Copies of this chain bind each other. A is one copy, B any other.
Amino acid sequence: MTANSLAGDSLLSQVVIVLVSTRNPLNIGAVARAMSNFGFRRLRVVNPYPLAFREAKSAVGAAALLTDAEEHKSIAESVADCSLVVGTTAARKRKLDHDLRPLNESGRAFRRAIQSGKVALLFGSEKRGLSNEDLSHCHWLMRIPTAESNPSMNLGQAVAVCLYELARPSGPVAKTKKPVANAADLDRLTAILMDTLRLSGYTAPVAASATDEKLRRLVRRLDLSVEDAQVWLGMLRQVLWKIRSRS
């Protein structure tokens, strides 16, 4: 089997693997190796334990990938250029505010998305996974279908399994949605919506941060195209201006 049997090479470079608060350098190395095995190239780390990042530089066949890895201060910053952000979770019964899809049903949605923009796949820390705040940056969540008795996978193995699924050779992919708004646009939209609601008395200032998370998820579920995101931004700006001009 040749590399051509993996999903198109240039398409895989649209996928960004984001590791959030990873502790163990062996795990970062293992992630880099799996990325290299399956033809992925973009690794970003958000607030890694400093040693974890510096000591990871020995993964077999993945040295260049680790050298090129980007370090970011926040998830928002790490996914700003991505039009789809997918979080991974071992959660099964925990109440979730997102669509939760099994990995084996996610490949198609992923492959479609990478035709219209960068796609980020987020993995949380070894101990606690992704927090609710982390998850609020995601459009939807994905889980590997594991056994109920031991659902939580080792980070390096979880990444390998996900990348295998995403890179697996598949038939032709249905065409194609319009380009999707990126995370920076959605953040702008969320911020304006938040201001509008606050000035309208919809949200009490005291509950602002919980509402902020809810709004971020609400806006992401809209699955807006670049074009529609601009229209909504324009409308909300006008509404906000109107409310402000009368206050």
Is A38 interfacial (CB 8 A cutoff)?
yes
Cβ of A3 under 8 Å from chain B = yes
Asked if B147 and A3 sit within 8 Å, CB to CB, the answer is yes
Kindly state whether residue A6 has any CB partner on chain B within 8 Å. yes
**Quick one: which of A6, A36, A164, A231 has the most chain B CB within 10 A?**
A164
Q: Report A95-139 CB contacts with B as 1/0, cut-off 8 Å.
A: 000011111110000000000000000000000000000000000
Chain B residues with CB below 8 A from A231, complex form: 218
A99 contact set on B, CB distance < 8 A: 176-178
Range, interface on chain A: 35 or more
- Please determine whether A196 and B60 come into contact, CB atoms closer than 8 angstroms: no
Check if A206 is an interface residue, CB within 8 A of chain B. Answer: no
Taking CB atoms and an 8 Å cut-off, the chain A residues in 145-172 that contact chain B are 145-154, 156-158, 160-161, 164-165, 167-169
User: Chain A 210-247, CB within 8 Å of chain B: the 1/0 string?
Assistant: 00000000100111110010011011001101110011
Cross-chain contact of A156 among B152, B154, B177 (Cβ < 8 A): B154
Closest B residue to A199 by beta carbon equals B242
Please report the C-alpha to C-alpha distance between residue A5 and residue B92 in the assembled complex, in whole angstroms.
13
Tell me whether A5 and B145 are in contact (CB under 8 A). Answer: yes
Q: Contact between A102 and B200 (Cβ–Cβ < 8 Å)? A: no
Q: How far is the CB of A74 from chain B (nearest CB, A)?
A: 26
Can you list 10 pairs linking A and B with CB atoms under 8 Å apart?
Answer: A1-B92, A3-B148, A37-B152, A61-B152, A99-B177, A145-B169, A158-B160, A196-B239, A201-B242, A222-B224
